[in-house]
Chain A
Amino acid sequence: MKTVFVTVGTTKFDQLIESITSPENILKDRGYERLVLQVGKGSVLPTADSCPHISLEAYRFKSSIAEDIERSDLVISHAGAGSCLETLGAGKPLLVVVNDTLMDNHQLELARQLYVDSHLLYCTCRYEKCLLSVIPSFLLENVIPMQDNCTLNQPLLLLIIPFLLHV
Chain B
Amino acid sequence: KMALLVGLSALSFLLMLVSFRLYVVLKAGRNCPFRAKESFAVVIVAGSGGHTSEVLRLTGSLSSAFSPRYYVVADTDRMSEEKISTFENSRGESTSQFSICQIPRSREVHQSWSSSVVSTLKSFCSSLPLMFRIRPDMVLCNGPGTCVPLCVAALLLGILGIKKVVIVYVESVCRVHTLSLTGKILYSLSDYFFVQWPSLRDKYPKSIFLGRIV
Using a CB–CB cutoff of 8 Å, the interface residues on chain A facing chain B are 9-11, 61, 63-64, 80-83, 85-86, 103-104, 106-107, 109-110, 112-113, 149-152, 155-156, 158-163, 166-167
- Do the beta carbons of A85 and B173 come within 8 Å of each other? yes
Q: Which residues of A contact B213 (CB under 8 A)?
A: 149-150, 155, 158-159
Least CB distance, A85 to chain B, in whole angstroms? 6
Using a CB–CB cutoff of 8 Å, the interface residues on chain B facing chain A are 30-35, 48-50, 52-54, 57-58, 61-63, 79, 82-83, 85-87, 90, 110, 140, 166, 168, 172-178, 180, 192, 197, 208, 210-214
- Do the beta carbons of A107 and B31 come within 8 Å of each other? no
- Tell me the complex Cα distance, A103–B126, Å: 31
The interface centre, meaning the residue of B83, B197, B208 with most chain A CB atoms within 10 A of its CB, is B83
- Do the beta carbons of A110 and B176 come within 8 Å of each other? yes
Contact of B210 among A9, A103, A112, A158 (CB under 8 A): A158
- Do the beta carbons of B176 and A113 come within 8 Å of each other? yes
- Do the beta carbons of B53 and A82 come within 8 Å of each other? yes
Q: Which residues of B contact A151 (CB under 8 A)?
A: 210-211
18 A–B contacts, CB within 8 A, in A order: A10-B48, A64-B83, A64-B86, A81-B53, A81-B174, A82-B54, A82-B57, A109-B175, A109-B177, A149-B61, A149-B213, A155-B213, A156-B61, A156-B63, A159-B62, A159-B213, A162-B208, A166-B31
Least CB distance, B118 to chain A, in whole angstroms? 22
- Tell me the complex Cα distance, A162–B53, Å: 24
- Tell me the complex Cα distance, A107–B47, Å: 14
Q: Which residues of B contact A163 (CB under 8 A)?
A: 34, 166
Q: Which residues of A contact B87 (CB under 8 A)?
A: 64
Least CB distance, A148 to chain B, in whole angstroms? 10
Q: Which residues of B contact A106 (CB under 8 A)?
A: 172, 174-175, 180
Closest B residue by C-beta to A106: B174
Least CB distance, B159 to chain A, in whole angstroms? 21
Least CB distance, B212 to chain A, in whole angstroms? 6
Q: Which residues of B contact A64 (CB under 8 A)?
A: 83, 86-87, 90
- Do the beta carbons of A110 and B174 come within 8 Å of each other? yes
Please name 16 further chain A to chain B contacts, defined as beta carbons within 8 Å, in addition to the given A10-B49, A80-B49, A85-B214, sorted by A numbering: A81-B172, A81-B174, A85-B57, A106-B172, A106-B180, A109-B175, A109-B178, A113-B197, A149-B61, A149-B212, A150-B211, A150-B212, A158-B61, A162-B208, A163-B34, A163-B166
- Tell me the complex Cα distance, A61–B83, Å: 10
The 10 closest A-B pairs by CB, nearest first: A82-B53, A10-B49, A155-B61, A150-B211, A63-B86, A63-B82, A110-B174, A166-B30, A109-B176, A113-B176
- Tell me the complex Cα distance, A162–B62, Å: 13
- Do the beta carbons of B50 and A81 come within 8 Å of each other? yes
Q: Which residues of B contact A82 (CB under 8 A)?
A: 49-50, 52-54, 57
